Structure 1
Amino acid sequence: MLKRQPLVVEVLRGPAVESVHNVMVAVVNELGQLLHGWGNPSFGTFPRSAIKMLQALPLIESGAADKFGLDDKMIALACASHRGEKEHLTVLSQWAEKVGIAESLLSCGPHLPYNETSAHEFIRRNQKPTAFCNNCAGKHEAMITTCLHLGEDPHGYANYEHAAQKRLRNILTETMKVDHSKVPHAVDGCGIPTYSVPLQAIAAGMSIFVNSKASTLRKNACQRIIKAVTGNPFYVAGSDDFATAVIEKTQGRAIIKGGAEGVYAGFLPEKKLAFAIKSADGAGRAAQLATAQVLLQLGGMTVEEAKALSKFTMPTITNWKGEPVGKLRIANDQ
């Protein structure tokens, strides 16, 4: 089922539509072949943090995770956009100590925790955020850990020509079936290269996690990541986060990951489907609601589960007093 029209998210204030977001969707089977879509599945975009599970594959496949005895919380953090809560920072510190990584080696810039309570705590204590507070810190520790295991100098690991980034380009090329040495690239928010590829290719990349025909090495690595993520969804994001809530509520029947500028990607292990979603105007609120709709249509989330996640799946617009004044909805005939 391919629809030329995008999935339309309407924002209502009172009875009137105030804003409209167009969302493109690509759904593929376990071999990465397009099955369903809304809008233009070939739309080129940066996947941003939505593909961190793919970027974690070298940590497992190289043997680095085994060599350093990383636990599932650490592997989940390698796939995470963590919200800077105490538990996240504790495990990141334990990981760094276990491997022998100085926090100063991480090239991701510091920012206040995404979690509001944690950010307020930093401000009250007059603490300056460090690199571990960066939501991508786990991904960066994973790259450094892999470099150390392979005997590579980790300094400059975020640079395009470093072995760590060549390794990631190879992984993304293999899984997305698009040569990442020939596509446009830019710098992600955390400082590493990010690559503009068709939305369908992002979905195809995520299909490796449900691909029964993948090599034994890759299947084992994917299963280890799935186990870590489903067993520790809090470490994939954190409190009050859509991705964590979906993985928890569906008990891993739906695994999703968001990225900046209105991107989501994920897969349904039991149904052997994968998907990628992009809000044309970069609106995260639209991508989140569209993801919920796609999960419902694909059977990755039940109606009861969606109701239990109503703050995400049926979001309301409130005024500064917290009173409901509007809502978001999927337009009719979608």
Structure 2
Amino acid sequence: MAEATRDPFVESRHLGAAVIAGPEGVRHAWGDPERVILPRSAVKMIQALPLVVSGAADAAGLGPEHLALACASHQGAEMHTRRVADWLAALGLSEADLRCGPQWPADRAARDALIRAEAAPSQLHNNCSGKHAGMLTLARHLGAGPEYHLPDHPVQVACREAFEAVTGAPSPGYGIDGCALPNFAGRLDRIAQAMAWFATAQTRDDAESRAAARLVAAMTAHPELVAGEGRACTDLMRAGGGRVAVKTGAEGVFTAILPEAGLGVALKIADGATRAADCAVTALLVRLGALSAEDPAVAARLEAPIRNRRGDTVGHIRPAPDLRA
């Protein structure tokens, strides 16, 4: 899927699998398309479907920024934490009602501010706090209990039903994610088809499809909220100019939604390397015409430089040649 060079040698290779799918099925695949994976945060838009379909989002007055945060793995920057805090306050809730756990922010300014203040990070800084705020909103709407993170809670039952509906198959099980939620497993090809279902949502008029189209529109309208400055999701969506919604997940997972082409993409890097997932998904999106290889943010991931301690470029992270054909 990707290789690391220390010119002129290929020093490392990242193996994995990738699928490009349309609503009718697989269009192109590399590796094992039937591999069962934990998609991690790459399917947050699926987990957000019940929030919108149930009417909870509209009842709470949520707008596109809230929906983007519900799909986000954010940096914990002030623009993220402030919005999540305000969202919770509007519900009459607080950071203490979250169940995601605290996390040091990846945003340098936010992290440095905490260090200077000798303060600890809160759950608002957790990269999944927007998703959890969405689940609290749904739990309130359903009149369910506060432990929304438990697998048998109505919120998680609704998330599993949504996942199985859009992937078209029962999930074989789940693992507990880093933010304490169940993460439902599925085949890579079916996850790619689910992304294609999102990509074609605007062509249908059922409640689920209207919800999917709203989530995709929120992600592409607010890429800075889905991830943050310098992150692949944000940079690639900006480079795509609204033509593609992308979402990373831990352990080398990436998904992409291409509404104009009606296509979905899902990939998994076997060793979990983010550097390989960023590179491979960029190559696939250039291949599909959703991104231009000339865009600086795209080029930076298509041929990501490896530098030594002096700052000299001594190699690159490059996609496998088959991905670029």
TM-score by length of 2: 0.95
Contact 2:236 2:297 in 1 (8 A): no
Contact 1:314 1:329 in 2 (8 A): yes
Whole-angstrom distance in 2 between the partners of 1:333 and 1:24: 12
- State the match for 1:223 in structure 2: 213
Match of residue 29, structure 1, among 22, 30, 33: 22
CA distances 1:131-157 after superposition (whole Å, capped 9, x unpaired): 11000011111111011012212x221
Secondary structure at the counterpart of residue 280 of structure 2: helix
Match of residue 158, structure 1, among 149, 158, 167: 149
Whole-angstrom distance in 1 between the partners of 2:2 and 2:218: 33
Whole-angstrom distance in 1 between the partners of 2:322 and 2:191: 26
| Pairing 1:89–2:98 present | no
Look up the equivalent residue of 1:24 and give its one-letter code. A
Look up the equivalent residue of 1:225 and give its one-letter code. L
1:320 deviation in Å?
Answer: 2.3
Match of residue 303, structure 1, among 280, 293, 298: 293
Whole-angstrom distance in 2 between the partners of 1:72 and 1:19: 41
Contact 1:110 1:131 in 2 (8 A): yes
CA distances 1:27-76 after superposition (whole Å, capped 9, x unpaired): 11034x11111111011110000000111111111111111111211110
CA distances 1:140-190 after superposition (whole Å, capped 9, x unpaired): 11111011012212x22111111111010100010001212xx13111110
Whole-angstrom distance in 2 between the partners of 1:195 and 1:225: 20
Contact 1:256 1:267 in 2 (8 A): yes
- State the match for 1:261 in structure 2: 251
Percent identity of equivalent pairs: 36
- State the match for 2:196 in structure 1: 207
- Which structure 1 segments of 5+ residues have no match? 1-7
Contact 1:108 1:134 in 2 (8 A): yes
Look up the equivalent residue of 2:99 and give its one-letter code. S
Whole-angstrom distance in 2 between the partners of 1:286 and 1:43: 18
- State the match for 1:317 in structure 2: 306
Contact 2:244 2:290 in 1 (8 A): yes
Match of residue 7, structure 2, among 9, 14, 33: 14
1:214 deviation in Å?
Answer: 4.8
RMSD: 1.4
- State the match for 1:133 in structure 2: 125
1:223 deviation in Å?
Answer: 1.9
Look up the equivalent residue of 1:151 and give its one-letter code. G
1:323 deviation in Å?
Answer: 2.1
Look up the equivalent residue of 1:19 and give its one-letter code. S
Match of residue 75, structure 1, among 67, 75, 88: 67
Whole-angstrom distance in 1 between the partners of 2:216 and 2:241: 11
> Which stretch shifts more, 250-259 or 97-106?
97-106
Look up the equivalent residue of 2:111 and give its one-letter code. A
Contact 2:235 2:297 in 1 (8 A): no
Match of residue 328, structure 1, among 309, 317, 323: 317
Contact 1:23 1:286 in 2 (8 A): no
Whole-angstrom distance in 2 between the partners of 1:178 and 1:124: 49
> Would you say how many aligned residue pairs link Structure 1 and Structure 2?
322
Secondary structure at the counterpart of residue 129 of structure 1: coil
| Pairing 1:177–2:192 present | no
- State the match for 2:108 in structure 1: 116
Contact 1:48 1:194 in 2 (8 A): yes
Spell out the pairing of 1:53-68 with structure 2 (5 A cutoff): 53-68=45-60
Contact 2:258 2:264 in 1 (8 A): yes
Match of residue 288, structure 1, among 278, 287, 296: 278
Look up the equivalent residue of 1:320 and give its one-letter code. R
Secondary structure at the counterpart of residue 164 of structure 1: helix
- State the match for 1:3 in structure 2: none
| Pairing 1:45–2:37 present | yes
| Pairing 1:148–2:170 present | no
Look up the equivalent residue of 2:41 and give its one-letter code. S
Whole-angstrom distance in 1 between the partners of 2:234 and 2:259: 16
